Copies of this chain bind each other. A is one copy, B any other.
Amino acid sequence: MATIYEVSKLAGVSLATVSRVINNNAPVRQATRDKVEAAMRELGYRPNSAAQSLASQRANSIGILVSELHGPFYGVLLSRIEDEFRRAGKHVIIAAGHSDEALERESIEFLRSRNCDALILHVEAVSDEYLIELAADGCAFVLINRMVPQLADRCITLNNHHGGYLATRHMLEQGHRAIAYISGPMWKHDARERYKGHQQALAQFGVSENPALFFEGDFHETSGVEGLTALRAGAATFTALVCANDEMASGAMTAAHDLGVQVPQQLSIVGFDNVNFAHYTHPKLTTIDYPIGDIAQMAARWVLRNVYQHTNVAALQAVFEPKLVQRDSTCLLTAL
């Protein structure tokens, strides 16, 4: 592999000049630039990024930590982030934290040891304190889908509370009053928020809560099956079911089918996230749209602006609003 030195020799200029045309960060006469570029082409020169990083104290890489790499959700996230950074000539290093505290910490350390200029974190298990300490330690990062008040300026979130509210209000507006709820794990912040929104909608319509209509799942499909089964076996009847994400809604739909319960005629179901498979379900799932792609892009822009000092990026937005996507899994409470 040719080095900058060979290029400079072939072009008959100094190392510094070659570096200037590579980085385009200082005036170089056109004739000189042409000579250098010709030399680079002739040698098939490609800058050594390790040397660049070492000398410039810039890695031009951004670490991304998500819970899982597979799944409909994170793919979109990664895709948008990569897209945005590629355009800026940065690259993306990925890691998975699997919603496990130790793994999340280890992954963050891993990414830091890679000298990433910034991190984009979608973490669930580490504590607020850990993140605050991380920030104090000088690590540049932005948080997706998590609000830590002391770090508010680096949090990009969805209004989960409002999303939960919208889902349940939709059911209420359709005439339902007996509304069951399958939650995500309550130790997760977004699960709690969504549930609070649910409560708010109920309160607004004067419907009192019934513990027999609540089931705590784990955001996976199987807990949707378990949830509906358990709720049906419970003390209360219901005509609508709000699920805190689409996976569980899908599981609930399968369970309903197996129990001979018609969706939506006998049971309306709403999900949350609007992941790509939501319209593969039968009936197609009514859900709350989570604009994860937009959020991801915003996180990338936050980095471009705050870490790389790009001034031409669009204004930053910290909170995104979910919206209802009405499909075929919910209907008016009529014949029961």
B46 touches A113 (CB 8 A): yes
Residue ID in chain B nearest A78 by CB atoms: B69
- Residue from B48, B78, B92, B114 within 8 A of A49 (CB atoms): B114
Asked if residues B54 and A69 are in contact (CB atoms below 8 Å), the reply is: no
User: A96–B70 contact, CB under 8 A?
Assistant: no
Please tell me if the beta carbons of A72 and B72 are within 8 angstroms of each other in the complex.
yes
Q: Which chain B positions have C-beta within 8 A of A53?
A: 50, 53
* Cross-chain contact of A86 among B48, B76, B110 (Cβ < 8 A): B110
Q: Which of A120-128, A188-196, A206-214, A276-284 contacts B (4 or more CB under 8 A)?
A: A276-284
Contacts of A76 in B (CB 8 A): 70
**8 A Cβ contacts from A25-83 to B:** 46-51, 53-54, 59, 61, 68-72, 74-76, 78-79, 82-83
Q: Which of A108-142 contact B (CB under 8 A)?
A: 109-110, 112-115
Q: Which residues of chain B come closer than 8 Å to A91, judged between CB atoms?
A: 93, 95, 110, 114
Nearest residue in B to A76 (C-beta to C-beta)? Answer: B70
Q: Is A250 an interface residue (CB 8 A)?
A: yes
Which of the residues B47, B68, B69, B83 comes within 8 Å of A96, measured between beta carbons?
Answer: B83
Q: Given B46, B70, B95, which contacts A75 in the complex, CB threshold below 8 Å? A: B70
Question: CA of A68 to CA of B293 in the docked complex: distance in angstroms?
Answer: 14
Closest Cβ of chain B: how far from A292's Cβ, in Å? Answer: 10
Assess whether A54 is in contact with B46, with CB atoms less than 8 Å apart: no
Write the nearest CB–CB distance from A144 to chain B, whole angstroms: 16
| A112 close to B82 (CB less than 8 A) | no
CB-CB contacts below 8 Å: A204-235 with B: none
Smallest CB gap from A46: residue in B: B113
Chain B residue at minimum C-beta to C-beta distance from A250: B280
Residues from chain B with a CB closer than 8 A to the CB of A82 are 69, 94-96
Residues of B within 8 A of A83 (CB): 96
Contact B281 A49 (CB under 8 A): no
Distance of A70 Cα from B71 Cα, bound (Å): 9
Q: How far is the CA of A115 from the CA of B93 in the complex (A)?
A: 14
Residue of B nearest to A83 (CB): B96
The 10 closest A-B pairs by CB, nearest first: A282-B282, A70-B75, A50-B53, A69-B79, A277-B277, A50-B54, A70-B79, A69-B78, A70-B76, A280-B280
Q: A50-B115, A69-B79, A83-B96 are in contact. List 14 more A-B contacts (CB 8 A).
A: A46-B109, A46-B112, A46-B113, A51-B54, A61-B93, A68-B75, A78-B78, A79-B96, A86-B110, A91-B93, A91-B95, A91-B110, A277-B277, A280-B280
